[in-house]
């Protein structure tokens, strides 16, 4: 059973920062595409960022470029999402997912990921 666990969500004011963490026990962690997604009420799940744990190649949706940074710590089998300059429109449940496809241009597609965490809520007030 693959476990994926997020942490680090919370409530901040606009302009603030949060750091999300995601740990997994996936057997092939060292060569995975891992992604962060978010879903606001009434909206579809959206790809935010992804990283290949082997190469370190990273991908971002346009709305977070320059504000969010995805990183990984392979010794801890974990990936992180540093979120700066947060905006009210970043408010959503954030999910971590493993075993996606980073290199074919579909990193943002949630259907390409196999295992998901339960999510962590991020709320940004104006």
34-51 confidence digits (pLDDT tens): 999 999 999 999 999 999
- Residue 115 structure tokens: 């295992």
**Residue 115: predicted pLDDT:** 95
Using CA of residue 12, residue 41, residue 2, residue 98, what is the dihedral sign? negative
Give the number of other CB atoms < 10 A from CB of residue 27.
8
Mean pLDDT of the chain, nearest integer: 95
CA distance 97 to 22: 9
pLDDT, tens digit, 9 for 90 and up, residues 48-94: 999 999 999 999 999 999 999 999 999 999 999 999 999 999 999 99
Instruction: Judge whether residue 26 has pLDDT over 90.
Output: no
> In which residue are the tokens 């390409």 written?
112
Instruction: Write out 80-91 in H/E/C secondary structure.
Output: EEEECCCCHHHC
**Residue 40: predicted pLDDT:** 96
In the chain, the percentage of residues whose pLDDT exceeds 90 is 87
- Residue 42 structure tokens: 């009434």
């Amino acid at each position: 059973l693959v476990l994926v666990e997020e942490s680090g969500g919370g409530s901040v004011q606009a302009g603030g920062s949060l750091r999300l963490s995601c740990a997994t026990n996936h057997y092939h962690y060292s060569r995975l595409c891992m992604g962060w997604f978010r879903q606001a009420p009434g909206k579809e799940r959206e790809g935010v960022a992804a990283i290949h744990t082997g190469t370190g190649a990273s991908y971002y949706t346009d709305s977070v470029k320059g504000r969010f940074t995805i990183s990984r710590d392979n010794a801890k089998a974990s990936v992180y999402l540093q979120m700066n300059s947060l905006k009210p429109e970043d408010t959503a449940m954030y999910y971590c997912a493993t075993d996606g496809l980073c290199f074919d241009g579909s990193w943002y597609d949630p259907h390409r990921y196999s295992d998901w965490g339960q999510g962590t809520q991020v709320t940004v007030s104006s």
